[in-house]
Chains A and B, each alone.
Chain A
Amino acid sequence: MALKLTFTHPLRSFDAAVALTVDAGTTMALVGPSGAGKTTVLRVVSGLLRPQHGVVSLDDRVWLDTAASVDSPPEHRSVGYLFQDYALFPHLDVLANVTFGARRDSPVHELLERFRISHLTRARVRDLSGGERQRVALARALAFQPRVLLLDEPLSALDSHTKASVRIELNELLRDLSLPTILVTHDFEDAAALADQVGVMVDGHILQTGTAADLVARPANPFVASFTGATLLEGTAARGVDGLTEVVLDAGGTAWSTDLGSGRVGLAVYPWEVSLSREIPSDSAVNHVRATVASVVALGNRTRVRVGPVVAEVTTASADRLGLRVGEVVVASFKATATRVLPL
């Protein structure tokens, strides 16, 4: 089974133009800032929005073909749609919500068990916690026995504590279901954790598609680099010694990269490639930025440190060892091989 879609549709300030193929058992994440048109893709697939031009098909079933005036209404497509705020029916209890779209042979009881909501069947929706709501919404969508799964920001309504465990559960669920799945999120980490393929979407267009690792290793442009978490240093590139590219940074100083490039560029470096020290170290790193510490944020066993224009992510243990404090001068170092040169 494969879900195929291509469409163009005018949005408020730009035209969305998207072409995607999602195979069975594959989860495709669309990531990007809000307003990029990610939800529009889900609305087109589900039939809630008829695009100006487009074709949507699942295998040999054509759901939409604007040129041939084919447009199945949403109720005749087989789509499990998890809405951003779950859209549970507030006037129905949990069981009535789950069975709303259930087919005669739907394993409703197994779903209630699987999602650990069997004890809540008679509960009102407004009495549920965020995590429970999400599980009810998933059970409701799956009771319909969909052949495509659409998830709109499935984790954004959850607090960070619930989020981590739900992410693991959702990952297992997507493996088990092996449906073509499109997941929309503004959080690259969620996308990386849940999806096989990630498409970075901006202003209605998918800039780059690949595995999360691909996008981090080879971002095609500065936006993808910064969206996937890299620090972007702007500057002017020229061929330097030893086949390295020399980038004269706008913020002052020079950095070296193994990537080729010239003219106006962004130099991308990921926080986990940056190490910190008190003095310039004698290891193989050729790029050093000596600057004051602007912020120190501990995230569990990792600590994010902003040093001048660069963000470093180091273990909390080593941050403690260095005794980092805001306002102190330290050296941030990274290798030439750890940088990407991206034309601006």
Chain B
Amino acid sequence: MLFLLLPIAAIFLHVPPADLVSALGTSAATDALIVTAETIAVSMLVIVLFGTPTAYWVAGRTSRSRDLVVTLIELPLVLPPAVAGIGLLVAFGRQGLLGGTFNALGVDIAFTKIAVIVAVTFVASPFYVRTAVSAFEGIDPALPAAARTLGAGPGRVFFRIAMPLASGGLGAGAALAFARGIGEFGATIMFAGSLQGVTQTLSLAIYEQFDIRFDVALAISAVLVLISATTLLSVKILTRWHSNSPSPILFAASTPPSR
């Protein structure tokens, strides 16, 4: 226990709290905070908007194709972040597979804010989708069936039955994806770089400030500890509230992200 808690406590105890607060006022810290807030917000929107119907669709399959799809979704989970970064670069980068297409459209993704969003979405979405699949699969199949016999079409079943019943699991999945996304480091630094005010997120700022102003790195770390703790707490509360929805399997493996 002590071994687990000591590094976290040390972040807060190394310098006086007043110094931590004033270090947060530096431009490096505020810029990183803004970049992180912007990119994580867009990423989460994309993840939930596309991940929810995907998860619902996967949960509705029963055959072997379902297992294959789930495995494919899980692959980015176990992929080393550096590999994800290289992959994104050769897929969407200037010299990448789709680079030509994007060039023709006048779009350059690599080393922009969009690159951060792509990297975060890539590494974080499986956490959401995997948890959402189990949440949808945890719904008693008699409930959507009953709704169908009561005149509800597939759309109404999704919004009135599946979504409310899976909401606890969906919330927990979103919290996990958020925690993973906010700590994203490897894929982002390779694919988006670490340009202050453009692509430098909180995690990247820690790495850079580590050599320049150690107290700023500490202050940002403290902020991330608080965010992670809040996320953890909200997952716990969400899964407790909806005790009938399955608790996220990936939980232990995924929080807090500390790379």
Q: Which residues of A does B touch, CB under 8 Å?
A: 46-48, 73-75, 77, 79-81, 83-85, 87, 89-91, 100-101, 140-141, 144
B75 at the interface (CB under 8 A from A): no
Additional A-B contact list (20), CB under 8 Å, known A73-B148, A81-B145, A144-B150: A48-B148, A75-B151, A80-B149, A83-B145, A87-B140, A87-B142, A87-B145, A89-B146, A89-B147, A90-B143, A90-B165, A100-B147, A100-B150, A101-B150, A101-B151, A101-B152, A141-B149, A141-B150, A144-B149, A144-B151
Give residues of chain B (133-159) contacting chain A, Cβ–Cβ below 8 Å.
140, 142-143, 145-153
Report how far A247 CA is from B146 CA in the complex, Å.
52
Cβ-defined contact, B148 with A74, below 8 A: yes
Q: What distance in Å separates the Cβ of A189 from its nearest Cβ neighbour in chain B?
A: 26
Proximity bits, B39-83, A CB within 8 Å = 1, else 0: 000000000000000000000000000000000000000000000
Report how far A46 CA is from B145 CA in the complex, Å.
10
Give residues of chain B (152-196) contacting chain A, Cβ–Cβ below 8 Å.
152-153, 160-161, 164-165
Q: What distance in Å separates the Cβ of B148 from its nearest Cβ neighbour in chain A?
A: 4
Report how far A48 CA is from B142 CA in the complex, Å.
10
B244 at the interface (CB under 8 A from A): yes
Cβ-defined contact, B244 with A89, below 8 A: no
Which residue of B is nearest A143, CB measured?
B150
Q: What distance in Å separates the Cβ of B143 from its nearest Cβ neighbour in chain A?
A: 6
Interface of A is mostly: loop
Cβ-defined contact, A75 with B145, below 8 A: no
- Cβ contacts under 8 Å, B148 to chain A: 46-48, 73-75
Q: What distance in Å separates the Cβ of B242 from its nearest Cβ neighbour in chain A?
A: 9
Q: What distance in Å separates the Cβ of B2 from its nearest Cβ neighbour in chain A?
A: 42
Report how far A287 CA is from B244 CA in the complex, Å.
59
- Cβ contacts under 8 Å, A80 to chain B: 149
Interface residues on B, range: 10 to 19
Report how far A158 CA is from B161 CA in the complex, Å.
26
Report how far A87 CA is from B161 CA in the complex, Å.
12
Report how far A84 CA is from B143 CA in the complex, Å.
11
Report how far A144 CA is from B151 CA in the complex, Å.
8
**A and B contact pairs by CB, cutoff 8 A, 20 listed:** A48-B149, A74-B145, A75-B148, A75-B150, A75-B152, A77-B149, A81-B146, A83-B142, A83-B145, A83-B146, A85-B142, A87-B146, A89-B146, A90-B143, A100-B147, A100-B160, A101-B147, A141-B149, A141-B150, A144-B150
Report how far A89 CA is from B144 CA in the complex, Å.
9
- Cβ contacts under 8 Å, A48 to chain B: 145, 148-149
- Cβ contacts under 8 Å, B164 to chain A: 91
- Cβ contacts under 8 Å, B145 to chain A: 48, 74, 81, 83, 87
- Cβ contacts under 8 Å, B152 to chain A: 75, 100-101
Q: What distance in Å separates the Cβ of B56 from its nearest Cβ neighbour in chain A?
A: 17
Report how far A67 CA is from B146 CA in the complex, Å.
27
Q: What distance in Å separates the Cβ of A157 from its nearest Cβ neighbour in chain B?
A: 12
- Cβ contacts under 8 Å, B161 to chain A: 89
Report how far A140 CA is from B149 CA in the complex, Å.
11
Q: What distance in Å separates the Cβ of B142 from its nearest Cβ neighbour in chain A?
A: 4
- Cβ contacts under 8 Å, A74 to chain B: 145, 148-149
Report how far A48 CA is from B153 CA in the complex, Å.
12
Report how far A91 CA is from B148 CA in the complex, Å.
17
Report how far A84 CA is from B142 CA in the complex, Å.
9
Which residue of B is nearest A91, CB measured?
B164
Report how far A48 CA is from B150 CA in the complex, Å.
12
Report how far A100 CA is from B151 CA in the complex, Å.
9
Q: What distance in Å separates the Cβ of B255 from its nearest Cβ neighbour in chain A?
A: 27
Q: Which listed residue, A73, A84, A89, touches B153 by the CB 8 Å rule? A: A73
Which residue of A is nearest B146, CB measured?
A87
Report how far A84 CA is from B152 CA in the complex, Å.
20
